[in-house]
Structure 1
Amino acid sequence: MNSKKNGLILMALLLAVVPLCAQTISGIQTDGSRQNNIVTAVPFLSIVPQARAGAMGNAGVAVDADANASALNVSALAFLSVGSSGASVSYSPWLKSLVPDMSLAYLSGYLRLDDRNTIAASFRYFSLGSVQFTDNYFQNLGTYNPNELAFDVSYTRSFGPDFAMGSTLRFIYSNLYSGQFATGSQVQAGKAIAADVSALYKKETELFGQSAIWSAGINLSNIGTKVSYNTGGAAYFLPANFKLGTAATLIPGNGNRFIIAIDLNKLMAPTQPVYDGNGKISKGADPNRSVPAGIFGSFGDAPGGIGEEFKEIGVSTGIEYGYQEKFALRAGYNYQNPDKGNSRYLTLGAGFKYNVFKIDFAYLVGSTQKSPMANTLRFSLQASFGAEDKMKKN
């Protein structure tokens, strides 16, 4: 699919008053999943931008921190050494099998102030590529580059050697329309404010007779205001997400290190109900409700009951082998139920460190069904200054 054809599809969706905030391209959302009955704005916030977690099937909410920790669990920064700091840049072409010029860029950094406090900031920029807009009669209205961005500031607090909590404040800007008109009214860029709340627990222990670290993490992300693209028009939920995970780090000695991680994810946004022929809800709950009601209600509003609620839980699993902090090999698998996004794929990756610099690669292999993200390559380059993680052992 070339960019012009993609533009025609996007504009047709706009003029048909199908919410472009869902950003579907030939049935694929921009977070890589297929359409399902949970509709949110700015799905790019659901993309894991860092290559390390990307190579581990997007698992990482309980994995030890680096300069990219803000993307998964900012609380992990509290376990880095006092006085350490770091910065990272990540980039990935996105859905390149559908659109040749779509991409995601991510910049992050942190500073460990003292034994209790850490600050961090990050910026992500998502480009939907070059899009040719047309009117109802397919007359050319010009070429535009729709884009979205999010800017974060974070604070993490340590509550002892084993536990930390963090919070993030996020500004979101979604510029998809460029002043175009839909159904007679001018649309505008969507804006929102959101927050994340996270926690991480780490404990030194033994597994299989070897030194190990067990950790558990949680991150409630993108809890914030709705997004509207038209004054007085419909407003859409952010992709608020509940992420819960655990990881075991085995340290057998001689510089070897193994990590096994698993995350569970669930969108905290209303599931669309089933309507009868008269447009009335026959199953499920009304999705037009407040943000708090939408978040809390998301755990019990599926038309199919508890069985459908469990289908909405995605699973990310990953493993990592590292040697003397010099290189690492990774693999993972990401799973979504076929009725709830159907995003299923295998990932592979590697990381290399030289002096203060580290580069990570992630490669999305795809799955048995044709994946729109197959052959996706992500990479991250970071620089870290200060001592190594205080929880690590030789």
Structure 2
Amino acid sequence: MILKKIKYIAVLTLIATSALAGNRDRSGQSGAGELLFNPWTRSSGMFGLNGSYVSGIEAMKLNVAGLAKTERTDVGIAHTRYLSGTGMSISNVGLAQNLGDVGVLGVNIMSFGFGEIPITTETSPEGGIGNYKPSFLNFSVGLGHSFSKNMSAGVSATFVSEAISNITASAIAFDAGVQYTNGKRDNLHIGIALRNIGSNLRFSGDGFSFNGTSPDFAKQLTVQSRSEKASLPSQLNIAASYDFYLDENKAGESEKPQHRLSAMASFVSNAFNNDWLGAGLEYAFKEKFMLRAAYRYENGIMEKQKSTTLYTGISAGVSFQTKLSNAEKAHAIAFEYAFKPTNIAGGVHVLGIKMSLAKQSN
């Protein structure tokens, strides 16, 4: 049975890999680049390398199969200071609800803030005629389902909206993922996710209109210029991790060890950018205090003149989680922080609060 599941995962990997490949020459040519950004704190602290075991509402932005691990209700909010000092920010909120045999339903809303940008025109290149605020919104709905204790899968759809006062664009992106666990204490985790497969993004609106003249120069006309369509930034994420329980010899069969050290690695094939390869570690004490760090490599990242990313490749994060009662299955709340240094500005800072409501026994 285990071999059959592994073969299934391998076939899915081969099919997805044939459709995607990293391409440096296409960097910056996709639309809706914000789909590649993970706004959740734990995933940011691991630079998205935790696709094999991500769970709850965070799975919506990495591997939707992890939604299926939500016991009852998972709700969270996160705020990102993107490129600190530039005034850009990201606000994110999500909810995951267990629906019983149907699976787990997840909803995630991510909004970008760019502050006020001066309006400039051909006649007023220096501005001084007002400001505008771009609006970037991603609305996602997903469903995760556990087929067995070891195997879960999920699918999601994300509506993408980008707009300024006189130009808008929209698209829809689909994600699919699987997760597999095995081992004495479910130590081994494998995850595969295919993300951002969907419609093209094309801008339209009055902002593309300009005054022209008819072919005979007899009258003035309003001419509408069409923009080029852009594909979404599709990617394939393959991740694996293993949990080492440092005090396992001291813990009994039914007793959970207190010290966990998880080692993980991930490979991401991007259709419109360099491929990513990374590794990381997460230490947890009683699942109350968690410390994590990771490094994600891509071609040219160590050479500023050749690099196509603003990141240095390093990420780190910390979580403090506590139960709200002494019951074995109790509600829990977590306070989290993550940081990713960048080559420009003051890096990316992420703050988050997440609450997990446990299923109460009758």
Instruction: For 1:268, give the aligned amino acid.
Output: A
4+ runs of 1 displaced by more than 3 Å? 34-38
Work out whether residues 56 and 68 of structure 2, in 8 Å CA contact, stay in contact via their aligned partners in 1: no
Q: Secondary structure at the match of 2:268?
A: strand
* Residue 160 of structure 1 pairs with residue 148 of structure 2: yes
Shift of 1:265: 1.5
Q: What corresponds to 1:110 in structure 2?
A: 96
What is the match of residue 13 of structure 1? none
Is 1:172 equivalent to 2:140 in the alignment?
Answer: no
Mapping of residues 291-370 of structure 1, within 5 Å: 312-338=274-300, 339=306, 341-342=308-309, 343-355=311-323, 356-366=332-342
Equivalent position to 1:266, from 266, 269, 273: 269
Alignment partners' CA distance in 2, 1:331 and 1:191 = 35
Contact 1:56 1:330 (8 Å CA) reproduced: yes
Counterpart contact for 2:169–2:201, Cα < 8 Å: yes
Question: Which one-letter code corresponds to 1:55 in the other structure?
Answer: G
Question: CA shift at 1:334, angstroms?
Answer: 2.0
Q: Indicate the SS of the match to 2:68.
A: helix
The DSSP-based 3-state class of the residue aligned with 2:119 is strand
State the Cα distance separating 1:332 from its structure 2 match.
Answer: 0.9
Give the Cα–Cα distance (whole angstroms) in 1 for the partners of residues 27 and 42 of structure 2: 30
Q: One-letter code of the match for 2:62?
A: L
Give the conservation status (yes or no) of the 8 Å contact 2:159–2:171.
Answer: yes
Change (3 A) 1:141 1:192: farther
Taking the aligned partners of 1:221 and 1:335, their CA distance within structure 2 comes to: 20
Corresponding residue for 2:254? Answer: none
- Whether the 8 Å CA contact 1:216–1:247 is kept in 2: the answer is yes
Q: Figure out how many residues of one structure are paired with residues of the other and give that number.
A: 292
Q: Alignment partner of 1:54: what SS?
A: helix
Stretch of structure 1 that moved more, 142-151 or 260-269: 260-269
Are the equivalent residues in 1 in contact too, given 2:53–2:179 (CA < 8 A)?
no
How does the TM-score come out when normalised to structure 1? 0.69
Alpha-carbon distance in 2 for matches of 1:194, 1:172: 8
How many Å separate the matches in 1 of 2:293 and 2:140? 29
Aligned equivalents of 1:160 and 1:221: distance in 2? 23
Q: Which runs of 5+ in 2 are unaligned?
A: 1-23, 206-225, 249-256, 301-305, 324-331
- Aligned pair in 2 of structure 1 residues 131, 38: CA closer, same or farther (>3 Å)? closer
- Given that residues 219 and 243 in structure 1 are in contact (C-alpha distance below 8 angstroms), is that contact kept between their aligned partners in structure 2? yes
User: Where does the alignment leave 5 or more consecutive residues of structure 1 unmatched?
Assistant: 1-33, 180-187, 206-210, 272-311, 389-394
Give the structure 1 partner of residue 258 of structure 2.
255
Which has more radius of gyration?
A: 2
- Aligned-pair identity in percent equals 21
Q: TM-score scaled by structure 2? A: 0.75
Distance 1:264 1:321 in 2: 21
1:235 pairs with 2:222: no
RMSD in angstroms over aligned alpha carbons?
2.3
